[in-house]
Structure 1
Amino acid sequence: MPSSKAKYSYSIKRGANPGGGSGSSGMNMTTNRDYSVNLSVQQVLSLWVQGTTLQHFTEMWYWVFLWCLFSSLFVHGAVGLLMLVMLQRHKRGRLITLVLVSVGFLASLSGSVITSKSIPLHHPLFFIFFGLRLTSIELSIQRVPIPLLDKVKEELKKSGQLDELVRNCKTCIKERGNPVEPLMSSELPERPWQKEGSDLFTLNHDNYLLVVDYYSRYVEIAKLTPTRSQDVIVHLKSIFSRHGVPENFFSDNGPQYSSQQFKDFAVAYGFKHVTSSPRFAQSNGEAERHVQTAKQLLKKAKDPYLALLAYRATPLANGYSPAQLLMGRRLRTPVPQHPSLLTPELPDSTVVAAKERERRAKDTANYNKRHRVRDLSQLTPGQPVWITDTKSQGTVVSSHSAPRSYIVDGPSGTIRRNRHHLVPFPETVPHTPHTPTPSTPPQPVGAAALREDSEQPSIPLCHR
């Protein structure tokens, strides 16, 4: 380490006075000044030497160098202590810390010797080397592995116990959501008004009833003052009197459709009422999609009846309008059109069916690709499941007549849910056998596991 005392000398030579004069004529005057700057550790750290003036570039660099040297030694000491704490679990942690810190101190001391000989030339390199050294130390701290943890992970992966542990973890199962299943597009009916879908919606504090034909996508909308089941039935009777009674009628499980009065209405009019899975609007997708269309029409148009007329008269992707597909004729609108276009003409059902199949196959492929769908396993009666929407545990009773729908026995009774809302528990939960106490008779593993499962409280979780 360089001495804290720096001694420099320089000479100033002044030429003779051309005019001559006593004491200075024809005389060269050489002045040698010798001064010392005593820099102790305390003075360097205080950044000021009282009574000393730095007059030259060399003095300034020397002072800056001493400050950087002391700070470098301090930083290496702090980093060494941090490394010792972080690497204490490593089998060679102390050796790594000792080597790196020793290299840091030796580099600082060697740099001080070089810099004391030629400060202006080598001092910037010292800064660069100091920065690179600290960066290497930080990277070494972050990248030093812990062999014990790595060895445990490798052993678990090789034996398959890690995957099995995750699959059988109840907390993980409750937090795990089901992937999206492949889209099941509805089949095109053979004729118009054979299969109908219905739903209720609210817009601007008003309630509406919507009925859509699966073949022609012809929409009927009725405003509901009260939303009782009796009022829905009255409007449906009015719609059926104009277009006829459908064979199949699809709706959700709202109280207006699940009441005993609506069941009697279905029996009296002779149509089959099919409900979708509760809390799974996608199973009644045709009606749900046309609800969005109806809302857009009613929001944008000043006259909702003209907007509804325009929708019924607009051709679909298959080339025919909903009115043509349902009634075999075009509707006259305020838009001028030739009278010959209003002549009734039945659409070609073969062309319509081919175009509809092509469109629905394309939509299904796009949906499956966008959502990265995956088939879910079938559930068996008696299998324990986690019901995501009610956040409770249940048991599968049987499968429902509707696809991907099951009857489940839950805490609140027997309910119906779609496969999307049911996450199956493993049939065999790993159980660690224990030695029974004298007061407790030995029990089979299955019975003990069943007793433990029944005693565990349900943990509510948030799922869609």
Structure 2
Amino acid sequence: MAAATIAALTFNECLTLDEEVVLRASQQDPAYQLLVAKVLAGDWHPHRAQEIECLRHFYSVRDRLSVSRGLVTYTYDQGHVRLVIPDGLRRQVAANLHASHQGLDSMLRRARQTVYWPGLEGDLQHHRASCDTCNAHAPSQPPETLILTPPPEYPFQQTVVDVFQLDGCSYLAYADRLTGWLEVAQLPSGATSSKIMNQLRLYFARWGAPEQVSTDDGTNLVSEEMTGFFKRWGITVRLSSAHYPQSNGRAEAAVKSAKRMLRGNIGTNRSLNSDKVSLALLQYLNTPLRDIDKSPAQLAMGRQLRDGVPAISLNYRIDEHWGRTLRERERQMARQHSKMKDHANGCSRSNIAPGSRVLVQNQANKTWDRAGIVVEARGNRQYLVKLDGSGRLSLHTRLHLKPLAQPNPAPPPKPQEPPPEPSSNRPRRRAARPGWLDDYVE
């Protein structure tokens, strides 16, 4: 039986892969042992074709390889020290990298911090392309530029809250804007305001109460009970418009990540209390963010979390430059905010005054078949509209509102002039003032 098959049968039940698991797998892989001996000896041939076939794939990176405690490591330009994975573990490592159903770019960012093998990018691309769950739920792009919120100054200063449905069950997503940290909770038997508050209290006790929470205008999130809860905790609520999730972009991104992570990992009971869900969440928290090369775990806790991807133990220690990393993340978000503001484009629409009648676009069929009166103009292009008929108050973005042209008042009726006298061809006698009245003084 091939070494790769033996290793797969031996180690495929391990949820967390560490250096010891990789070492045992490498000891059962003759090609890996040849690589260890070659790297230790350093006697590479002058030409690639002179090497045995199993070592030719490493010839171009031979100067980047070294051996530590029996394992080959790969380091490029003083970057991350990455473990070279034996052939028998590569499929499982690729599956663990895709545990959260993230895209190829996210998988590669995570892999480039921890593992290496020849053809890594192609293998991960093949694994992602073969995932039926990801192919069936590919994300779509937002149709309009987001309204930018000033970046936060410290972790969990600005958070997002959203409730979403997946396979008939309700879940709560809670995320931090600065670090990207994500929490997910199941809400059995309905997402009531009371259940949401109970879960938020746990998050506040763990991470501190935020200054601002962004959410949508769902009834369970804007109820009187929920409003009083946020007020007691001194939290400002930023609402997004109805049928316009782009106005709460960070919450939508968190919900997409949570859904992508849970699909294929939750069981028939839809519970989050399983090894697969926990491993997927750890993988998400350990994946580096764009443009910063640091993961939510590294930003929020100063270190990586031990998960299903093998890494050297040094990565689990708190980084001495943690504070500097957070400040760089703040500056990176500020630069991104400024860049997006400078390059923002789109149609500029006039403001709508309260009391104006408007048409409201129906997002189901994209027709303007509803009307109402603007009750209140809020910030971020949001308007509170009282709909005709039902009288229901609904929050809408300016994009979905069209002011109704006010009819011009009718001019007052002109007084009727006497009809002109009928014309006659007969000469008319001219009346003249008598001369004896010339010296008369009134």
**Aligned to 2:155, which of 181, 192, 199?**
192
Structure 1 CA distance, aligned partners of 2:250 and 2:299? 17
Corresponding position of 1:314: 287
Letter in 2 for 1:420: L
Counterpart contact for 1:212–1:220, Cα < 8 Å:
yes
SS of alignment partner, residue 278 of structure 2: helix
CA shift in 2, pair 1:398/1:223, >3 Å: closer
Corresponding position of 1:343: 317
User: 1:301 Cα shift?
Assistant: 4.1
Spell out, residue by residue over 1:348-396, the C-alpha distance to the aligned partner (whole angstroms, 9 max, x if none). 2342233334445666778x56xxx211111123333212238333333
SS of alignment partner, residue 220 of structure 2: helix
**1:182-261 equivalent positions in 2, closer than 5 A:** 182-226=145-189, 227-261=191-225
Corresponding position of 2:331: 354
User: 1:275 Cα shift?
Assistant: 2.1
Counterpart contact for 2:146–2:247, Cα < 8 Å:
no
Counterpart contact for 2:147–2:380, Cα < 8 Å:
no
Structure 1 CA distance, aligned partners of 2:146 and 2:246? 10
Letter in 2 for 1:338: I
* Count of residues paired in the alignment: 253
TM-score scaled by structure 1? Answer: 0.49
**1:47-446 equivalent positions in 2, closer than 5 A:** 182-226=145-189, 227-301=191-265, 303-317=276-290, 318-345=292-319, 346-348=322-324, 349-360=326-337, 373-389=346-362, 391-400=369-378, 402-411=379-388, 412-413=390-391, 414-427=393-406, 429=407
User: 1:433 Cα shift?
Assistant: 6.6
Corresponding position of 2:36: none
Spell out, residue by residue over 1:34-80, the C-alpha distance to the aligned partner (whole angstroms, 9 max, x if none). xxxxxxxxxxxxxxxxxxxxxxxxxxxxxxxxxxxxxxxxxxxxxxx
CA shift in 2, pair 1:278/1:361, >3 Å: same
User: 1:300 Cα shift?
Assistant: 4.1
SS of alignment partner, residue 186 of structure 2: strand
Structure 2 alignment gaps of length 5 or more: 1-142, 267-275, 363-367, 417-442
User: 1:199 Cα shift?
Assistant: 0.7
CA shift in 2, pair 1:310/1:184, >3 Å: same
TM-score scaled by structure 2? Answer: 0.52
Counterpart contact for 1:183–1:364, Cα < 8 Å:
no
Structure 2 CA distance, aligned partners of 1:333 and 1:347? 24
CA shift in 2, pair 1:260/1:380, >3 Å: closer
Higher Rg of the two aligned structures: 1
Structure 2 CA distance, aligned partners of 1:381 and 1:259? 24
Counterpart contact for 1:182–1:375, Cα < 8 Å:
no
User: 1:214 Cα shift?
Assistant: 0.8
Q: CA RMSD in A?
A: 2.9
Structure 2 CA distance, aligned partners of 1:252 and 1:274? 8
Structure 1 alignment gaps of length 5 or more: 1-179, 439-464
Counterpart contact for 2:151–2:337, Cα < 8 Å:
no
Counterpart contact for 2:172–2:185, Cα < 8 Å:
yes
Structure 1 CA distance, aligned partners of 2:178 and 2:149? 10
SS of alignment partner, residue 396 of structure 2: strand
Counterpart contact for 2:217–2:395, Cα < 8 Å:
no
Counterpart contact for 2:181–2:296, Cα < 8 Å:
yes
Spell out, residue by residue over 1:394-415, the C-alpha distance to the aligned partner (whole angstroms, 9 max, x if none). 3333312x32112334323344
Letter in 2 for 1:223: Q
User: 1:238 Cα shift?
Assistant: 1.6
